[in-house]
Amino acid sequence: MKKFSNKTITLLFVIILLAVNSGLLLSYYKFYLSDQMVNDLTEAKDKNHESLYVITKSIEGKSLDESIELIELYVDNNGGYVTLKDEVGKTIFTNSKDISKLFSSTTMVLIENDTYELTYSKISSTPGIKLLRNFMFYEIIIVSTVVIVVFFISSKKIIDPIETITKDINAYKFGKRPYKRRMPKNMQRIQNAFVDMVDSLELEKENQNQIIASISHDIKTPLTSVIGYADRLKNKDLSDEKKSAYIEKIYDKALNMKGILEEFDDYQSCNIKDTLKLEDITIKSVTEFVKSDYEDELKDKNINLNITSNCDSKKIRVDLIKLKRVFGNIITNSVTHFKGTKGIININISGRGNLIRFEIADNGGGIKDEKDLKRIFEPLYTSDPSRKISGLGLSICKQIISSFDGRIYARNNDIGGLSIVFVIPKL
């Protein structure tokens, strides 16, 4: 069934109201107003004839002067307009500046053996002023009724839902979360969008609280050690060797805390797309900096790094520093979770359509639960104890790749470990 838009429904409603109003007005005119106007006209003419008859009877046989006095007396007492003309059409008497009255009655009267034309008019305008007032009153009733009906409908369709949404917004200020309601279509969209926004804000608040709590916990441990070693340094009997060892431990713990805070700063800055410093780089440049930055370091840790690419000449538009951060976080994550076996990290880069695909695969054991694969990019999410994915590293990677208009995901691979795959549009 075809659905009509609100504008179409409103237009149809207005047309129907106009049609109903026109029908009611036509009925009012046909069955009441027209008959009443005819009756008023007939009554006006009858009164004119009656007045003309009275004047005629009173002046017949009188002299002209007496007749004029009697006419003036009648007009003073009863009102109306009188014109008296002789046989040649000369006006002998008139009390009206306008002698072309709409409802006039004329007769011939004998005065002093001469014939005169006597015209009388009581009404100088169209009869039915009272009917016109009734007509306007009737129309006002119709329009008022329509306005009340429209107001009632709009109140139910617009005003009431707006008040409900406003109440939910004010209630949310005091901690009461809104919920989705059944409303008119457009208002329901607004309400549901507000509820979805609140849910997102609450989820973001929970994530922020979780991040703050985790960072607080991670800092407390090295900070406790720093306080403990600093307290030991107060011992005057401490040997120089011990002092040097304690100072070294304090320095290491301080670097640990600095790393935690820097990771948090990176997580915050990667959320801001406007801070990107984009540049066009080739895939060959990417393979070269990865090899330069990590090959020797990984070799020292007995980890074999393999890099392959079939699209060295292709270009991508990225923030190079942040892209390096992605490779660093993923490789560091792989190194952390090797289980004593000879480590392997394979990086494969390939062009697919309008995208460049990067896959960083290790043999560190992978993740058994498929649900964890979808959640390892959440801030501070931890999977099973055998392979802990904690911190903000992978979450930062997701933020960076999203800022490049790309996407990232994880899967278990064929070499016995985890693959982090991300794609970026090519130029």
Any domain includes 205: no
Whichever domain contains 345, its CATH number is: 3.30.565.10
Whole-angstrom distance, CA of residue 301 vs CA of residue 294: 11
More confident residue, 139 or 353: 353
> DSSP readout, 378-425?
STT----TTS---SSHHHHHHHHHHHTT-EEEEEE-TTSSEEEEEEEE
Of the candidates 395, 380, 358, 382, the residue with the CA atom closest to the CA atom of residue 269 = 395
289 exposure class (CB count in 10 Å sphere: 0-12, 13-18, 19+): middle
Quote the pLDDT of residue 387: 39
Quote the pLDDT of residue 10: 63
Range of the domain at 374: 275-425
Any domain includes 114: yes
| Mean pLDDT of the region 241-260 | 82
Quote the pLDDT of residue 416: 86
Any domain includes 29: yes
Any domain includes 225: no
Quote the pLDDT of residue 390: 47
Whole-angstrom distance, CA of residue 264 vs CA of residue 251: 20
Any domain includes 244: no
Number of domains in the chain: 2
Looking at 127, 146, 177, the residue that finishes a domain is 127
Any domain includes 268: no
| Mean pLDDT of the region 57-62 | 84
- pLDDT more than 90, % of the chain: 15
Highest mean pLDDT, choosing among 133-147, 334-348, 374-388: 334-348
Looking at 68, 98, 127, the residue that finishes a domain is 127
Quote the pLDDT of residue 306: 94
Q: Each residue of 143-168: pLDDT tens digit?
A: 777 777 766 666 666 667 777 878 88
Confidence of residue 230 (pLDDT cuts 50, 70, 90): confident
Any domain includes 322: yes
Any domain includes 325: yes
Least confident of 178-192, 212-226, 408-422: 212-226
Looking at 110, 127, 144, the residue that finishes a domain is 127
| Mean pLDDT of the region 201-209 | 78
Confidence of residue 312 (pLDDT cuts 50, 70, 90): very high
Least confident of 176-185, 378-387, 398-407: 378-387
More confident residue, 267 or 99: 267
Whole-angstrom distance, CA of residue 400 vs CA of residue 322: 7
Q: How far from the centroid of its chain's Cα atoms is residue 427's Cα? A: 35
CB < 8 Å & 24+ apart, contacts of 123-128 = 123/44, 123/48, 124/81, 124/98, 126/102, 127/37, 127/40, 127/41, 127/44, 127/103, 128/36, 128/37, 128/40
Of the candidates 88, 86, 93, 89, the residue with the CA atom closest to the CA atom of residue 111 = 86
| Mean pLDDT of the region 404-420 | 91
Whole-angstrom distance, CA of residue 59 vs CA of residue 51: 13
